[in-house]
A and B are shown apart, each in its own frame.
Chain A
């Protein structure tokens, strides 16, 4: 498929949904799927799922990469670049404006209280995200043990996480998990 008007429609849609993707881009993934698979039929469900799996398994800005694969499928390299900008541009502008506003009131008493209330809830959510990922990767007691060991080592030491990730990948590759 190589159609500039399709690429323009995709780019505009991505710019819109990235501006409202509260809680991270995965929250709007169902909408993007409906747009590219259902409404326009630019790719199959299987292709969309493969893009997700691959984006999750390579380091870097996962969701921006996934949308670049989608853009690539629609309009080659230019489509990939346009999708990357549409996915990252609007949120970056919002983050910057939001931080400036927050920083202006950093010494205000109300902000200290907001922080005290806000941080515990978001950290509970971060820990829950880790648990969700663990459940997705869980194929038995060995993978669960690996997750717990990695968490324990990180908490107890300042050991470089890269070695742990390599060890985890090696254990999987050798068929030990």
Chain B
């Protein structure tokens, strides 16, 4: 085991289950429009449990499995830091209290959907949340910025969805094998 891996092991064993619960509770309650922004902010920036690179790996892995990806991030970060118990703590933190709060709020909201002020407030929040999500994607791409092929494939994925209006699944399963093949070639040449 390398020294870096040994250090990583130390960090992993020292994360209390209660911290995992509260961290993902915060991610969930703050996550207007995109929980990814808060998951990165709390797990990578504030608590420094894992690096940007590892976080990007987990996000990418979750893209390839069915379900709400942000819940997948809670499951995977919990499993990485504390195994099965970690997953349960992180997932419960993410789901239980926010679900109860959200259900009550939502049922209340349903009575006032016609109010213009409410819609304007939500519109402002949505525009801001979109900016936060864009910035988080750029941040997570940063560890790969020195590889021209990485930037090319990121730009392709963006362009095919925004300008090509292709469905997510087609973009994902069309580009990823190509991107992996190019990474494999680069790797072979570097040897």
Q: Are A100 and B79 in contact (CB under 8 A)?
A: yes
Binary per-residue interface labels of chain A (53-74) against chain B in the complex, 1 for a CB within 8 Å, 0 otherwise: 1111111111111001100100
- Interface residue tally for chain B (C-beta within 8 Å): 103
A91 to B95, CA, bound (A): 13
Known interface pairs A146-B131, A177-B124. Does A120 touch B154 (Cβ–Cβ under 8 Å)?
A: yes
Contacts of B20-37 to chain A: CB distance below 8 A: 28-37
- Chain B: which residue is nearest A122 at the CB level? B60
Residue A12, interface by CB 8 Å: no
**Residues 122-181 (chain B) with a chain A CB within 8 angstroms:** 122-141, 143-144, 147, 149-151, 153-158, 161-162, 167-169, 171-172, 175-176, 178-181
Q: Which chain A residues border B63 with CB–CB below 8 Å?
A: 23, 122, 125
Residues of B contacting A25 in the complex (Cβ-Cβ under 8 angstroms): 67-68
Question: Bound state CA distance, A25 and B76, in angstroms?
Answer: 18
Q: A54-B113, A56-B33 are contacts. A161–B38 as well, Cβ < 8 Å? A: yes
Q: Is the CB of B126 within 8 A of A61?
A: no
In contact, A95 and B67 (Cβ under 8 angstroms): yes
Cβ 8 A contact of A133, one of B33, B35, B68, B136: B33
Decide yes or no whether A9 CB sits under 8 A from chain B: no
**B153 and A121 form a contact (CB under 8 A):** yes
Contact assessment for B66 and A161 in the assembled complex, using a CB-CB cutoff below 8 Å: no
Complex Cα–Cα for A129 and B147 (A): 23
Asked whether A22 lies within 8 Å of B66 as measured between CB atoms, the reply is yes
Query: Is A65's CB under 8 angstroms from B57's CB?
Result: no
Bound-complex Cα distance A91 to B63 (A): 12
Chain A contacts for B140, CB-based, 8 A:
119, 123, 126
Which residues of chain B have C-beta atoms less than 8 A from A65's C-beta? 99, 102-103, 106
Docked Cα-Cα span, A151 to B138, in Å, equals: 9
* Interchain nearest-CB distance for B63 vs A (Å): 5
The tally of CB-CB contacts under 8 A between chains A and B is: 368
Question: Within 8 Å CB of B187, what residues of A?
Answer: 109, 112-113, 116
Closest Cβ of chain A to B32, distance in Å, is 5
Q: Given that A119-B144, A169-B121 are contacting pairs, would A154 and B158 also be in contact in the complex, using a CB cutoff of 8 Å?
A: no
Contact A99/B33 with A158-B45, A165-B128 known, Cβ cut-off 8 Å = no
B45 closest partner in A (C-beta): A158
Q: Which residues of B contact A80 (CB under 8 A)?
A: 103
On whether the beta carbons of B128 and A168 are closer than 8 Å, the reply is yes
Interface residues of B in 64-95 (CB under 8 A from A): 64-72, 75-76, 79-80, 84, 87, 91, 94-95
Residues of A within 8 A of B105 (CB): 58
In the assembly, what is the distance between CA of A115 and CA of B64, in Å?
12
Q: Is the pair A54, B110 in contact by a Cβ cutoff of 8 Å?
A: yes
A117 touches B169 (CB 8 A): no
> When the two chains form the complex, which single residue of B102, B120, B156, B171 contacts A61, counting CB atoms closer than 8 Å?
B102
Contact of A94 among B57, B67, B109, B143 (CB under 8 A): B67
Q: Is B11 positioned at the interface, with any CB of A under 8 Å from its CB?
A: no
6 A-B pairs with C-beta separation under 8 A: A25-B67, A53-B113, A95-B67, A120-B179, A132-B162, A147-B134
Given contacts A54-B113, A122-B56, 13 further A-B contacts (CB under 8 A): A22-B172, A58-B106, A60-B29, A61-B71, A65-B103, A91-B65, A92-B72, A116-B183, A122-B63, A138-B127, A154-B135, A169-B125, A177-B123
Closest 3 CB pairs of A and B: A91-B67, A172-B124, A150-B131
